Amino acid sequence: MASKKHRYKLQIDISDTSTLILFHKIEEFNLLQKVYGELLTTPEIAEEILKLNKE
């Protein structure tokens, strides 16, 4: 029997910036992208994270 590769899309819902800020502070923000692929959030949260990158 041939093995079949299954692809699953993981989704994460982040309702505030605290999780994202934590990953940014420990310089592991890219880990979220590696695990979940695409990160979706509100414009307000995205704006706050972008501010962190400028600091």
**Mean pLDDT throughout 7-34?**
79
Assess whether pLDDT exceeds 60 at residue 1.
no
CA 4 – CA 37 distance, rounded (Å): 22
Flag whether 10 is in a domain: no
The answer to whether residue 28 sits within a structural domain is: yes
**pLDDT at residue 32 greater than cutoff 70:** yes
- Residue 3 burial (CB count, 10 A): 5
Determine, yes or no, domain membership for 11.
Answer: no
**Number of domains the chain contains:** 1
| Residue 3 placed within a domain | no
Whether the per-residue pLDDT at 44 is higher than 60: the answer is yes
> Helices 18-25 and 29-36: crossing angle, nearest 10°?
120
The DSSP output letter for 10 is -
Q: What is the CA radius of gyration of the chain?
A: 15
Closest CA relative to residue 14, chosen from 49, 36, 35, 40: 40
Q: What is the mean pLDDT of the chain?
A: 78
User: What is the per-residue pLDDT for 10?
Assistant: 63
Backbone angles phi, psi at 12, to 5 degrees: -130, 135
Predicted TM-score (pTM) of the model is: 0.59
